[in-house]
């Protein structure tokens, strides 16, 4: 492994970068003169067209949203507060074209984009902090990027770019990039302190403060501390988190340097599919409890054991840091460097079901009792559950250096991108044991084994599987982009990227634990081109259209190497967009069509492995209606995503061709009304949201139907004239029982993962 070399390289890049003078670039072509690219805390709907977005621009230079030739959603800090996301994955509910299954808790989401093949985790999703990707590949087994980033009061705004120039200015991947922009200090000291409690035992304190330090220096520091048993109460504080973020900015007449670091220790119970027929409360049920919290498991072939505490759940213990420099070398030449570094542990401790539950009367002998001695009735349900442990130490370094040259109506940008990332893993999976299938249910006595339940028709037996692996990769890329204002109304953008990947992977696997032998020691090299071209036409400052074509790719990752999926997945995408920003109506509409050319999109834990090619056509709407004190926001997605070719166990499967992509809805809609009322100097804001989700299929054969559902949220905020405020927010107000997925390990079983039940948050705070 080259973990030490990563640290050394980061230090050398930081030294070289700091040696350069740092001044900010002027607005790029199409950007309003004098517009700031600093993150904005909030924007009224009628001002949103003038927001400067940096995601998807060459070198992160920034462009006015109304002038962008790509589909991008901007989310203000106030929008985030109103949405009250329980995880970063829930932020994607505010982005059209994206389907996010955030029912797994604080971490462990499944996120799909525009019908591209997924089926688990987030294979086409990049998350960035201050424009720097937080990890070098979109996902790994038991890891997707939303698991290691937390949204709090230090976030000024969020940008979500779908498709478009992602292929060139991202990691070459064509899905969605979610860029979180930190608050920066200003000329006045400002701050917020907030306390939040809930009807499920949450206690959280948030604080943020910012201001000037003098001589062009500004600061922002903030964070939170949080604890709760979770909506799915595990009989202990299963959700615990703390985070602190510091952001220092140096500005002078011609530019700025900003440096930030964020330290996080935040974990929560991993919510998994559960029995849908046992009579348990689908909104609050948790199999995990005090009786099953600890498990001692063998960890190597020498017989060593370790006692694991499943209170540790799934989450992140680590840091994300970065350094950004912007500099005008002359009136025509600008330099930008963006360095990011991530280091920490993204571990998983989960209680995983195996097969459907069965009644005690169906067991051989028709009897069973718990480990605590309780004799069960024949009508009681029992089910196999396994204690799964995945320890994953992650490191990632990225650096994006670009140089932009402006001449008249033309701007040419050349850049070099470097990424080094690693993952050191220990797994022990399986470890199945029968349990009483009730809230916080106990183990069964040793007389009833996982083989007993298998004989009764439930579960896959007493299997175990373990690995120890080391993966290390480096990607280097060169990119070139050009933006030409042909006329005052027409602008043409184009870009090309060439990327090279070198990946090393060492694997030791065994029967529940590593057995001490090397099963794989592989080096993979790959390279590919990505490119994009677009035309943007402005009929006026309020109305514009764009057309774009892009070609991107996804390189194999460490898990692909282990599964011998070594191909490069090529994605082609065409987009047509309409942008209108009026006094009462704002509308951003994007039509898209994409295809993927590789068979290396493997569906979950299905046996035999299934891989497939797809095509998807759809339209996204992001709109707002503003009528005085009343606002109505709307995001909507319609997509027709189908399988075009499929392999099952490496053999062509014509029966799957033409089927809909698993788990993604054809249609989804979110309506978010709000109304402002002034009572003297006091302000009252009433807001809500209704998310309407179409039917989906839980399997690629389209035989398991996941029924559509509607989820309603509602809230009220009271703001005093002296800075104090209060808020009540109800999530899933009507206690919808919608399912986000079936059971990926047993699609035909009576298991599924429902959304969380109703919860109510109460917040009080003070702005100063």
pLDDT classification of 40: cutoffs 50, 70, 90? low
Listed in sequence order, the residues at least 6 apart from 330 whose beta carbon sits closer than 8 Å to its beta carbon are none
Residue 376, C-beta contacts closer than 8 angstroms, at least 6 positions apart = 360, 367, 368, 369, 370, 382, 436
- Checking if the pLDDT of 607 tops 70, the result is no
Cβ distance 550 to 531 under 8 Å? Answer: yes
C-alpha distances (whole Å) from 576 to each of 176, 454, 579, 580 are 17, 53, 10, 14
Region of poorest pLDDT, from 53-67, 171-185, 289-303, 341-355 = 53-67
Q: Where are the alpha helices (DSSP H) in 414-551?
A: 450-455
More confident residue, 14 or 404: 404
The predicted-structure confidence for 98-131, as pLDDT tens digits, reads as follows 999 989 999 988 999 999 988 778 889 999 999 9
Tell me the CA distances in angstroms from 561 to 116, 348, 522, 571, 602, one per residue in order: 21, 21, 8, 20, 13
What pLDDT, on the 0 to 100 scale, is given for residue 547? Answer: 97
Range of the domain at 8: 3-767
In this prediction, residues 11-38 reach a mean pLDDT of: 37
| Whole-angstrom Cα Rg for the chain | 26
Q: Collapsing DSSP states into helix, strand and coil, what is residue 469?
A: strand
How much of the chain, in percent, has pLDDT values that exceed 70?
92
Please list, in sequence order, all residues whose beta carbon lies within 8 angstroms of the beta carbon of residue 215, skipping any fewer than 6 positions away.
Answer: none
Q: Is the pLDDT of residue 550 over 70?
A: yes
User: What CA dihedral angle connects 148, 344, 326 and 41, to 10 degrees?
Assistant: 30
Q: Which two tokens stand for residue 22?
A: 């740092």
- H-helix or E-strand spanning residue 668: strand 667-679
Closest alpha carbon to 457 in 558, 354, 351: 354
Task: Phi first, then psi: give them for residue 476, nearest 5 degrees.
Answer: -120, 140
The domain that contains 495 carries what CATH number?
Answer: 2.40.170.20
Q: What is the torsional sign of CA 731, 737, 740, 742?
A: positive
DSSP annotation of 542: S
Average pLDDT, the chain: 90
Look at residue 18 in the predicted model and tell me its pLDDT.
32
Under the banding of pLDDT at 50, 70 and 90, the label for residue 62 is confident
Q: Residue 267's pLDDT band (boundaries 50, 70, 90)? A: very high
Name the DSSP letter for residue 181. Answer: E
* 3-state SS track over 27-86: CCCCCCCCCCCCCCCCCCHHHHHHCEECCCCHHHCCEEHHHCCCEEEEEEHHHHHHHCCC
| pLDDT for residue 605 | 59
Query: What's the domain count of the chain?
Result: 1
Record the tokens describing residue 205, joined without a space.
């304190």
pLDDT of 56:
80
- Beta carbons within 8 Å of 363's beta carbon, 6+ residues apart: 382, 448, 452, 453, 455, 456
DSSP sequence for 198-236: ETT--EEEEEEEEEEEETTEEEEEEEEEEEE-TTTT-SS
pLDDT for the residue 108: 85
292 three-class SS: helix
User: Residue by residue, what is the 3-state secondary structure of 337-361?
Assistant: EEEEEEEEECCEEEEEEEEEEEEHH
Non-local CB neighbours of 548 within 8 Å, separated by 6+ positions: 69, 70, 163, 164, 532, 533, 534, 535, 574, 575, 576, 577
Gap between the Cα atoms of 69 and 61, Å rounded: 14
CA dihedral 453, 458, 462, 465 (to 10 degrees): -160
Indicate if the pLDDT at residue 476 is higher than 50: yes
- Among the listed residues 469, 476, 479, the one whose alpha carbon sits nearest the alpha carbon of residue 532: 479
Question: Residue 564 region, left (φ>0) first, then alpha (ψ -120 to 50), else beta?
Answer: left
Q: Would you state the structure tokens that stand for residue 664, as one six-digit string?
A: 């993604």
Characterize 155-193 residue by residue with b for buried, 16 or more Cβ atoms within 10 angstroms of its Cβ, and e for exposed: bbbbbbbbbbbbbbbbbbbbbbbbbbbbbbbeeeebbbb
pLDDT of 17: 34
The pLDDT score that the predictor gives to residue 68 is 87
Is beta strand 274-275 parallel, antiparallel or unpaired with respect to 751-754? antiparallel
Give the list of residues 6+ apart from residue 651 with CB closer than 8 angstroms, or none.
none
Give the Cα-Cα-Cα angle 287, 290, 293 (nearest 5 degrees). Answer: 75
Q: Contact, 609 vs 599, CB < 8 A? A: no
- Tallying the residues shown for the chain, one arrives at 768
What's residue 603's pLDDT? 64
Q: How confident is the model at residue 39 (pLDDT cuts 50, 70, 90)?
A: low
Q: What is the largest CA-CA distance in the chain?
A: 86
Measured CA to CA in angstroms, residue 241 lies from 151, 462, 764 at distances of 12, 34, 20
Angle at 382 between CA 379 and CA 387, to 5 degrees: 170
Burial 116-139 (b: 16+ CB within 10 A, else e): bbbbbbbbbbbbbbbbbbbbbbbb
């Amino acid at each position: 492994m080259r973990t030490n070399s990563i640290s050394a390289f980061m230090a050398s890049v930081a030294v070289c970068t700091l040696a350069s003078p740092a001044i900010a670039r002027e607005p790029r072509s199409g950007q309003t003169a004098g517009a700031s690219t600093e993150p904005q805390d909030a924007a009224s709907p009628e001002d949103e067209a003038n927001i400067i977005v940096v995601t998807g621009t060459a070198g992160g230079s920034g462009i006015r949203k109304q002038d962008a030739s790509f589909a991008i959603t901007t989310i203000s800090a106030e929008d985030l507060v109103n949405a009250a996301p329980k995880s970063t994955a829930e932020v994607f509910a505010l982005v059209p074209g994206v389907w996010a299954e955030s029912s797994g808790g604080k971490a462990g989401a499944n996120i799909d984009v525009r019908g591209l093949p997924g089926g688990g985790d987030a294979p086409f999703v990049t998350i960035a902090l201050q424009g720097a990707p937080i990890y070098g590949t979109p996902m790994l087994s038991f890891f997707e990027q939303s698991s290691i980033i937390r949204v709090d009061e230090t976030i000024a705004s969020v940008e979500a770019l779908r498709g478009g120039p992602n292929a060139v200015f991202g990691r070459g991947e064509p899905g969605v990039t979610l860029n979180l922009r930190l608050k920066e200090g200003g000329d006045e000291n400002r701050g917020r302190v907030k306390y939040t409690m809930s009807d499920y035992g949450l206690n959280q304190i948030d604080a943020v403060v910012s201001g000037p330090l003098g001589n062009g220096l500004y600061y922002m520091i903030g964070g939170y501390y949080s604890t709760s048993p979770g909506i799915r109460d595990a009989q202990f504080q299963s959700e615990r988190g703390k985070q602190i973020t510091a952001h220092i900015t140096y500005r002078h007449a011609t530019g700025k340097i900003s440096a930030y670091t964020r330290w996080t220790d935040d974990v929560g119970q991993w919510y998994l599919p559960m029995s849908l027929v046992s009579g348990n409360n689908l909104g609050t049920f948790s199999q995990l409890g005090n009786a099953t919290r600890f498990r001692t498991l063998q960890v190597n072939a020498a017989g060593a054991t370790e006692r694991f505490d499943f209170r540790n759940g799934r989450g992140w213990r680590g840091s994300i840091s970065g350094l950004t420099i912007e500099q005008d070398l002359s009136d025509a030449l600008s330099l930008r460097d963006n360095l990011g570094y991530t280091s920490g542990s993204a571990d998983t401790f989960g209680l995983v079901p195996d097969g459907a539950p069965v009644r005690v009367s169906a067991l051989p002998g028709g009897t069973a009792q718990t480990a605590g001695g309780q004799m069960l009735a024949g009508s009681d349900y029992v089910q196999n559950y396994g204690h799964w442990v995945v320890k994953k130490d992650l490191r990632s370094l990225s650096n994006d250096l670009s140089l932009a040259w402006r001449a008249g109506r033309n701007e040419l940008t050349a850049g070099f991108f470097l990424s080094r990332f690693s993952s050191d893993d220990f797994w022990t999976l399986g470890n199945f044991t029968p349990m009483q299938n009730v809230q916080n249910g106990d183990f069964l006595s040793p007389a009833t084994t996982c083989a007993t339940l298998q004989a009764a028709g439930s579960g896959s037996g007493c299997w175990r599987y373990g690995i120890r692996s080391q993966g290390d990769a480096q990607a280097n890329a060169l990119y070139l982009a050009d933006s030409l204002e042909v006329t005052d109304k027409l602008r043409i953008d184009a870009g090309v990227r060439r990327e090279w990947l070198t990946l090393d992977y060492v694997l030791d696997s065994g029967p529940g634990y590593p057995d001490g032998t090397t099963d794989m020691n592989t080096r993979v090299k790959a390279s590919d081109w990505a490119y994009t071209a677009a035309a943007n036409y402005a009929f006026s400052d309020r109305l514009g259209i764009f057309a774009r074509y892009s070609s991107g790719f996804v390189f194999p990752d460490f898990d692909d190497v282990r599964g011998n999926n070594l191909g490069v997945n090529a994605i082609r995408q065409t987009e047509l967009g309409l942008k209108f920003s009026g006094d009462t109506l704002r509308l951003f509409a994007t039509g898209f069509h994409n295809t993927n050319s590789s068979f290396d999109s493997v569906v979950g834990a299905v046996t035999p492995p299934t891989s497939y090619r797809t095509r998807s056509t759809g339209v996204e709407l992001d709109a707002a209606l503003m009528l005085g004190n009343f606002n109505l926001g709307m995001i909507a997605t319609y997509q027709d995503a189908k399988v075009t070719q499929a392999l099952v166990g490496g053999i062509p499967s014509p029966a799957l061709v033409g089927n809909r992509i698993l788990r993604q809805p054809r249609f989804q809609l979110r309506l978010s009304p709000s109304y402002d009322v002034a009572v003297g100097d006091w302000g009252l804001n009433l807001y809500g949201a209704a998310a309407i989700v179409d039917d989906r299929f839980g399997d690629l054969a389209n035989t398991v139907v996941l029924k559509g559902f509607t989820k309603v949220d509602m809230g009220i905020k009271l703001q005093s004239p002296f800075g104090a405020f209060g808020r009540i927010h109800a999530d899933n107000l009507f206690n919808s029982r919608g399912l986000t997925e079936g059971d990926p390990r047993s699609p035909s079983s009576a298991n599924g993962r429902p959304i969380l039940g109703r919860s109510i948050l109460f917040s009080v705070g003070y702005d100063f």
